[in-house]
Amino acid sequence: MSRNAESTAFRSALEVIRAVEPRVADAIGAELADQRESLKLIASENYASPATLLTMGNWFSDKYAEGTVGRRFYAGCQNVDTVEALAAEHAKELFGASHAYVQPHSGIDANLVAFWAILADRVESPALKKAQVRQVNDLTEADWFALRRELGDQRMLGMSLDAGGHLTHGFRPNISGKMFDQRSYGTDPATGLIDYDRVAEAAREFRPLILVAGYSAYPRKVNFRIMREIADSVGATFMVDMAHFAGLVAGKVFTGDFDPVPHAHIVTTTTHKSLRGPRGGMVLCGPELADQVDRGCPMVLGGPLPHVMAAKAVALAEARRPDFADYAQRIVDNAQALAEGLLRRGTTLVTGGTDNHLVLLDVSGYGLTGRQAEQALLDSGIVTNRNAVPQDRNGAWYTSGIRIGTPALTTRGLGTAEMDATAELIHTVLSQTTPGANADGTPSKAKYVLDPAVADSVGKQATDLLAGFPLYPTVDLG
C-alpha cells in the first residue's frame, strides 16, 4: 500500500474528528507518537495493520445484528452477514476448524460463550431431554429451579494463576470463579514446567466437567494431545484458551501435539495478540458444540460489533498469507534470542527460557519486586508488565516477575540482534535499580531508586534501536 493512500486516510480521519473534538484527535495522534517511541514488550499487545485499523471506523458500527448469519433478530443485516461469514470462513481455513464464531467482543466474552455452550450441552440439554421439553421456558418451576442449581454446581480444572494461567479460568475475582467450583494444576517447582502426571492425578481426584488449558504467562509449549487424553479419562470437556499463542498456531509454529485445534472440544482466543488483528474474541469448535456456541449472543454477549467482525475478516485474511508463517517463526526466534541475552547477563527466567512468544523474568534476583522493575523500565522507555511467578511471595499486585513478549517488536521488524541489545537495556535498568523505602523507613514494594541519568541514557538507546524500524512507515500524520 502506498504511503500516500494510508497517510491520506488517517490524516483525513483526524481532520474530521478534530472539527468536533480536537482533544480526541490530539490523543489519537499522541498515542501513535508514544507507540512509535517506546520499546513495547507487552506480551499480549501488537500493532494491527492500517487496513485492519481503518476497517473499524465506518457505518457497520451503527448496525444491530443479534443472532447469526442469515438468522438475525433485526432486519437489514445483509452486509453484516457478508463480513461475519467472511471472518468465520477465514478463521476456519486458517485454523482447520469446522466451526468459527467471531462475535465475542473480547477474550473473557469468548470464554463465557464457551463455558455456557459446554454447560448447555452437558447439563441443560440432558435436563430438557429428561423433562421431555424442547426449551427452558417449558420446564416446570421445580425443574427450572433444579436445573439452575445444577448449572451452578459444576467443576472446572485450570492452570493456577501464579503458574501462568488466566483469571477467566475459574478464579474467584472473575465471574468464572463464581460460576464454577474450581481447582488448579500448577507447575513443577523444580522445572517450572507442567507436570502432566500431576494434572492427570488432579483430574482423577476432582473429576471436572471442564479441563482448561491455555495461559497468559507460561513460556513453554503445552502438549494438547496429552491434555485431551487426561480430559477423556475423566469424561471432561477439553477447552483451550489460545489467546496468547493464536498467532503461533495460525503461523504453523505450533503443530501436531502443540496445535490445540485438533485436540480440544472447543478453543477460544482473542484476535489482537500474536494474531495481530483488532481487539476482540473468537470461538472455534466442532459440529457437536456449534449450535450452542452460536447462541452466544444474546445469551452472554451484547449485540455483535460488525465493524470489528469486518476487521477480523481483514486481519484473518492477512494471517492466511504465506508471510504470516515467517512472522510467527520470527516471534519465537526473537523471544529465544531475548531469553538467551538475559540468561547470559545473569537474569533468572522462569523455566530457564522460552519456546513461545514470551519470557518471564524473576526479578527477585535483582532485589526488586515486579512493580518496582516495571516502573523503572517504563522510566527508561521500555514498556512491560509485572506478573506473578510460580509460588510468588509478593502476591498478584506487587509480584516478583516481569513478563515480556516479542509479537509487537517483531511486527516492527526487529530481529535477534536487536533482541540482544534489548536484553542489555533491560539488564542495565534492573541491575541499577534499588528498592526504595516508605516514609517511616520500612522497605517499600513499590518505591525504587534509579538514577535519572541511567533511565535517560537507556531511553535514548531504546529510541536509537527503534529508529531503524519505523512503526507504520506508510503513515505520515504530517
- Kindly list the residues in this chain that would bind ligand DSN in the complex (CB under 6 A): 44, 107, 216
| Binding-site residues from annotation for (6S)-5,6,7,8-tetrahydrofolate | 161, 165-167
Least separation in angstroms between residue 131's CB and ligand DSN is 38
Interatomic CA distance for residues 15 and 35, integer angstroms:
21
Matching residue, cell 513495547: 40
281 - beta bridge partners?
270
**CB of 238 vs ligand DSN, minimal distance in Å:** 21
Catalytic residue among 36, 92, 225, 279: 279
107/304 with CB nearer ligand DSN: 107
CB of 234 to ligand DSN, least distance (A): 27
CB nearer to ligand DSN: pick between 244 and 427? 244
**Catalytic: 64?**
yes
Nearer to ligand DSN, 68 or 411 (CB): 411
Residue 440 C-alpha cell reads as 517511616
Instruction: Write down the catalytic residue from 18, 37, 45, 64.
Output: 64
Residue among 6, 109, 162, 241 flagged as catalytic: 241
Q: Kindly provide the b/e burial profile for residues 385-412, where b requires at least 16 CB atoms within 10 angstroms of the residue's own CB.
A: bbbbbbebebeeebbbbbbbbbbbbbbb
Which residues make up each annotated binding site? 161, 165-167
Please give the DSSP secondary-structure letter assigned to residue 211: E
Which of 270, 271, 369, 384 is catalytic? The answer is: 270
User: Measured in whole angstroms, how far is the alpha carbon of residue 349 from the centre of its chain?
Assistant: 21
246 three-state secondary structure: helix
Q: In this structure, are residues 9 and 350 in contact, taking their beta carbons and an 8 Å threshold?
A: no
Closest CB to ligand DSN among 237 and 385? 385
173 φ/ψ angles, rounded to the nearest 5 degrees: -65, -15
Distance, in Å, from the CA atom of 346 to the CA atom of 102, rounded to the nearest integer, reads 44
Cβ neighbours of residue 6 closer than 8 Å, sequence gap 6 or more: 50, 472, 474, 475
Is 270 annotated as catalytic? Answer: yes
Determine which one of 72, 273, 371, 412 is catalytic.
273
Q: How far apart are CA 320 and CA 322, in angstroms?
A: 6
Task: Indicate the residue type of 204.
Answer: R
Question: Cβ atoms within 10 A of the Cβ of 456, count?
Answer: 13
Minimum CB distance to ligand DSN smaller for 10 or for 171: 171
Alpha-carbon span 46 to 65, nearest angstrom:
28
Smallest Cα–Cα separation from 62: which of 310, 306, 297, 308?
A: 306
- Active-site residue, selected from the candidate residues 37, 66, 181, 291: 66
Per this entry, what is the length of the chain? 478
Q: How many CB atoms lie within 10 A of CB 136?
A: 15
Whether 288 sits among the annotated catalytic residues: the reply is: no
Q: Cell match 513443577: residue?
A: 188
> Residue 351 or 461: which CB sits closer to ligand DSN?
351
Starting at the edge strand that comes first in sequence, how are the strands of the sheet with 401-405 ordered? 348-349, 358-362, 401-405, 385-387
Phi (first) and psi of residue 73, to 5 degrees: -90, 0
Q: Cβ closer to ligand DSN: 358 or 430?
A: 358
Least Å distance between CB 240 and ligand DSN? Answer: 15
Between CA 203 and CA 363 the distance in angstroms is 33
CB of 277 to ligand DSN, least distance (A): 15
Tell me which residue has its CB nearest to ligand DSN. 44
Catalytic residues: 64, 66, 241, 270, 273, 279
